């Protein structure tokens, strides 16, 4: 029977070891599990004690680098420990190896990637070391934002994370995994204004809020500014307009786009910057989801802003 592999990544002291220890202590998750092998590629302040490992039928192997974790090494460890599951505590300063992502042996399939984020340093890392954050989070299935307080900005965290990885589940925890009730910081625009005017610096915050709460914008009049990204296939009067969020660097970005309909598409050229005024309407998408579409009644050319990217803080 294949042995499931769980990969834990994140910066040093972001909570990887604590998450693994908590997982070993989760009776529901561990039900029916025999032996757990932990492969540790990075050691932080929190340690695995011999007593704790013995109590949880866990064994640990320390490696200096991900390059040592070859398929041959995996077979050796599988033969030595016969584990029911494998936890890999990765070095957060390394990119996840291609072996782990695409070339795992059949007997050790990678089933989930979990990333830990220390919210106290996240904003600084996003600003100064975005490429490293990108490598950590881009493949994650689950992202745990820990050490949150009531003052932590959920919008900033979610916006930046979703710009990197739209599919990931995000969880917010306080110190030592305690639950925390994050209060939404005020939006920088008036959602109840007669016409909501979204300035360049606020597009990212509006976009994420509209994704989270599409019904709140149903029937609202709004002014948006962005560029003509693409024509909507199959529709004569509809385009995708939006702004780009930096994912890793200026060469790697993600479109924060919205469908705009009711316009003369032939009068526009791709990449043109435009200002659109219209009414937002909520429409169904997928099985149970919703999104907003902008029904335009005014469109004009707009000067490209000095900083064309969007941010979430």
- 179-238 pLDDT, tens digit each: 888 877 788 999 999 999 999 989 999 998 999 899 999 999 999 999 999 998 888 899
pLDDT of residue 48: 93
What string of H, E and C letters represents the secondary structure of 169-182? EEEECCHHHCCCCC
CATH number of residue 148's parent domain:
3.40.50.300
Give the other-Cβ count within 10 Å of 291's Cβ.
Answer: 15
Which tokens in the block code for residue 31? 């039900």
Which DSSP category does 203 fall into?
H
Q: Are residues 238 and 129 in the same domain?
A: no
pLDDT of amino acid 248: 61
Report the distance separating Cα 12 and Cα 273, nearest Å. Answer: 42
**What pLDDT score does 279 carry?**
97
- One domain for residues 141 and 234: no
Per-residue model confidence as pLDDT tens digits over 11-35: 988 999 999 999 999 999 999 999 9
Mean pLDDT of the chain: 91
Residue ranges making up the domain that contains 239: 196-310
Is residue 41 scored above 70 in pLDDT? yes
CB 231 within 8 A of CB 265: yes
Whether 187 is in a domain gets the answer no
Provide the CATH number for the domain around residue 240: 2.40.50.140
Residues 158 and 232 in one domain: no
Structural domain includes residue 206 = yes
- Whether 70 is in a domain gets the answer yes
Q: How confident is the model over 149-174, as pLDDT tens digits?
A: 888 888 889 888 988 888 899 999 98
- Structural domains counted in the chain: 2
Residues 235 and 269 in one domain: yes
Q: Which of 105, 99, 100, 83 is nearest to 140 (CA)?
A: 100
Which is it for strands 289-301 and 221-231: parallel, antiparallel or unpaired? unpaired
Q: What is the pLDDT of residues 114-135, one digit of tens each?
A: 999 999 999 888 888 888 888 8
Distance CA 38, CA 53 (A): 10
Over residues 101-113, the mean pLDDT reads 94
Residues 147 and 245 in one domain: no
For residue 246, pLDDT over 80 is answered with: no
Question: What distance in Å separates the CA atoms of residue 129 and residue 180, rounded to the nearest whole number?
Answer: 27
Concatenated DSSP letters for 207-219? Answer: HHHHHH-GGGGTT
**The pLDDT of residue 163:** 84
């Amino acid at each position: 029977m294949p042995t499931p592999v769980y990969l834990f990544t994140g910066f040093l002291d972001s909570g990887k070891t604590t998450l693994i220890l908590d997982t070993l202590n989760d009776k529901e998750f561990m039900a029916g599990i025999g032996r757990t092998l932990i492969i540790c590629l990075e050691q932080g302040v929190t340690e695995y004690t011999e007593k704790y490992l013995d109590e949880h039928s866990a064994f640990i192997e320390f490696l200096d680098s991900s390059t040592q974790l070859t398929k041959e090494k995996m077979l050796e460890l599988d033969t030595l420990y016969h584990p029911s599951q494998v936890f890999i505590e990765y070095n957060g300063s390394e990119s996840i190896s291609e072996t782990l992502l695409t070339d795992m042996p059949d007997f050790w399939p990678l089933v989930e990637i979990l990333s830990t984020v220390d919210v106290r340093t996240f904003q600084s890392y996003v600003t100064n070391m975005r490429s490293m954050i990108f490598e950590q989070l881009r493949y994650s299935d689950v992202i745990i934002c820990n050490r949150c307080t009531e003052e932590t900005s959920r919008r900033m965290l979610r916006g930046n994370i979703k710009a990197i990885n739209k599919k990931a589940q995000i969880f917010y925890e306080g110190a030592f995994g305690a639950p925390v009730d994050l209060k939404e910081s005020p939006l920088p625009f008036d959602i109840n204004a007669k016409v909501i005017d979204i300035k360049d610096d606020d597009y990212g915050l509006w976009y994420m809020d509209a994704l989270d709460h599409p019904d709140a914008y149903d029937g609202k009049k709004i002014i948006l500014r962005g560029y003509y990204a693409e024509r909507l296939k199959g529709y004569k009067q509809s385009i995708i307009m939006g702004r780009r969020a930096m994912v890793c660097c200026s060469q790697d970005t993600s479109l924060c786009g919205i469908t705009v309909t009711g316009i003369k598409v032939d009068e526009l050229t791709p990449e043109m910057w435009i200002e659109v005024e219209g009414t937002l309407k909520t429409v169904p998408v997928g099985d149970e989801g919703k999104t907003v579409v902008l029904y335009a009644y005014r469109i004009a050319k707009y000067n490209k802003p000095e900083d064309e990217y969007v941010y979430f803080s």
